[in-house]
């Protein structure tokens, strides 16, 4: 492609200029390469002109000639290679072809290196979750239990627990068919009721699962409570709390621990126990807990429609909260009332699972007088409110 440009900004080294670079202009014309500067002018014949790339990233084009061994002219303007003189002169045409090949190879190397870097980063990124999961599964169950118990101790300081033996017994009776299908070999599951009016529940690593009294009293059936429990128990069995901590420690910690000494992790974990109480699970963890929870219900022959209808209650609750706090975040939403993924999205996913489920009916009735359980629970709440129990700091708004 011929270009109209005939002269190029250039620099030169010439013995006459001393040992320094002189700035000027290079012109290709009349069979000569001419360098013009304030210091004067000199010219090479185009025939037998040597052309090479040099400088950082081969940015410069050097012109030299065997007849003038100590002289060199260079330009950063690579358009010089498009000059018509290169087409007319066979030595120049060969030199240019050689340069083009070299540039092509250099470009391929750059692209190759970039692809390698991108590939490596992507590979490490993709491998991160499986690595975190693999690492979590290596953590001894006792550590996880200790971690969860440490965190739960803090919960019991800040929140009021309903510890009435009869209520506790009924809750365990309610959960029994579900617990029967959840793998029990790793964790000692412990169910707690927290006196709090909100529709919430949460699980800690190692088996502590807490349900708010508000959730138990709002539910219309034992199946609704069991739906929530299935979700929370899945957070435990899928090690979401532990995996969240490991993830927050960063990839470097994961890799070094994974390939190094796992016991160093024990201390780090217990130090991170408070983190569990403010931790928000990722969308993926929430989806996984919904799905695994559904599977547990299915295996226990418990009607998973309870889970869906409870989500509907939550959706209405969220709307109310949004009205109360327009534009505001639903702060301090412990686990179950999680805003990501959205409640309608979670319901839709469960409806899909239900549609594909081989078990659409023939569910087992829960062996519990649910209304009596709620009544007993409510009685314990009013008992504590009337001051028959030692008063602790209230963390919820009055009902």
Residues that bind Zn ion (CB under 5 A): 286, 289, 335
Nearer to Zn ion, 223 or 335 (CB): 335
Q: Which long-range contacts (CB under 8 A, 24 or more apart) does 375-381 make?
A: 376/164, 376/166, 376/167, 376/170, 377/162, 377/167, 377/193, 377/213, 377/216, 377/217, 378/217, 380/162, 380/164, 380/167, 381/162, 381/195, 381/213
Which residues are bridge partners to 26 per DSSP? 8, 35
Nearest approach in angstroms of CB 231 to Zn ion is 6
Residue with tokens 């009869």: 166
| Of 326, 338, 333, nearest in space to 288 by CA | 338
Nearer to Zn ion, 81 or 209 (CB): 209
What does the alpha-carbon distance between residue 158 and residue 57 come to, in Å, rounded to a whole number? 63
Nearer to Zn ion, 164 or 286 (CB): 286
Nearest approach in angstroms of CB 347 to Zn ion is 14
Nearest approach in angstroms of CB 360 to Zn ion is 25
Q: How many H helices and E strands in the chain?
A: 14, 11
Q: C-alpha angle with apex 334: 302 to 204, nearest 5 degrees?
A: 70
| Of 160, 207, 154, nearest in space to 396 by CA | 160
Nearer to Zn ion, 49 or 334 (CB): 334
| Of 78, 70, 71, 79, nearest in space to 2 by CA | 79
Nearest approach in angstroms of CB 202 to Zn ion is 8
Nearest approach in angstroms of CB 341 to Zn ion is 10
Nearer to Zn ion, 317 or 335 (CB): 335
Nearer to Zn ion, 24 or 207 (CB): 207
Peptide bond preceding 98 in cis form (omega within 30 of 0): no
Please give the residue whose beta carbon sits closest to Zn ion in the complex: 335
Nearer to Zn ion, 238 or 380 (CB): 238
Nearer to Zn ion, 42 or 189 (CB): 189
Nearest approach in angstroms of CB 342 to Zn ion is 13
The answer to whether 257 touches 269, Cβ cutoff 8 Å, is no
Q: C-alpha angle with apex 328: 324 to 333, nearest 5 degrees?
A: 85
| Of 15, 119, 23, nearest in space to 71 by CA | 15
| Of 122, 127, 142, 346, nearest in space to 242 by CA | 142
């Amino acid at each position: 492609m011929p270009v109209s440009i005939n002269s190029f900004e250039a620099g030169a080294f010439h013995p006459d200029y001393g040992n320094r670079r002189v700035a000027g202009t290079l012109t290709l014309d009349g069979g000569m390469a001419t360098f013009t500067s304030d210091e004067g002018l000199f010219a090479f014949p185009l025939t037998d002109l040597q052309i090479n790339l040099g400088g950082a990233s081969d940015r410069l084009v050097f012109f030299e000639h065997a007849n003038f061994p100590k002289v060199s002219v260079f330009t950063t303007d690579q358009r010089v290679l498009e000059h018509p003189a290169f087409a007319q002169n066979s030595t120049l045409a060969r030199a240019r072809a050689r340069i083009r090949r070299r540039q092509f190879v250099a470009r391929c190397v750059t692209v190759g290196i970039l692809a390698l870097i991108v590939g490596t980063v992507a590979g490490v990124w993709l491998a991160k979750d499986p690595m975190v999961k693999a690492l979590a599964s290596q953590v001894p169950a006792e550590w996880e239990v200790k971690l969860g118990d440490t965190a739960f101790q803090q919960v019991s300081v800040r929140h009021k627990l309903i510890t009435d033996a009869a209520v506790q017994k009924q809750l365990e009776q309610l959960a029994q068919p579900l617990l029967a299908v959840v793998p029990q070999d790793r964790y000692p599951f412990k169910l707690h009721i927290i006196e709090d009016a909100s529709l919430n529940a949460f699980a800690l690593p190692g088996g502590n699962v807490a349900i708010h009294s508000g959730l138990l009293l709002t539910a219309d059936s034992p199946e609704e409570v069991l739906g929530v429990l299935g979700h929370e128990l899945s957070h435990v069995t899928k090690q979401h709390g532990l995996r969240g901590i490991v993830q927050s420690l960063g990839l470097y910690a994961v890799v070094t621990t994974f390939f190094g000494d796992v016991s160093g992790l024990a201390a780090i974990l217990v130090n991170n126990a408070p983190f569990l109480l403010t931790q928000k699970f990722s969308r993926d963890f929430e989806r996984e807990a919904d799905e695994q929870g559904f599977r547990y219900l299915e295996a226990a022959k418990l009607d998973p429609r309870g889970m869906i209808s409870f989500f509907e209650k939550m959706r209405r609750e969220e709307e109310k909260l949004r009205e109360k706090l327009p534009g505001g975040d639903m702060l301090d939403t412990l686990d179950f009332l999680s805003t990501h993924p959205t409640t309608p999205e979670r319901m839709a996913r469960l409806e899909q699972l239900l549609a594909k489920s081989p078990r659409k009916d023939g569910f087992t009735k829960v062996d519990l007088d649910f209304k009596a359980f709620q009544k007993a629970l409510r009685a314990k709440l009013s008992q504590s409110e009337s001051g028959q129990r030692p008063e602790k700091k209230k963390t919820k708004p009055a009902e």
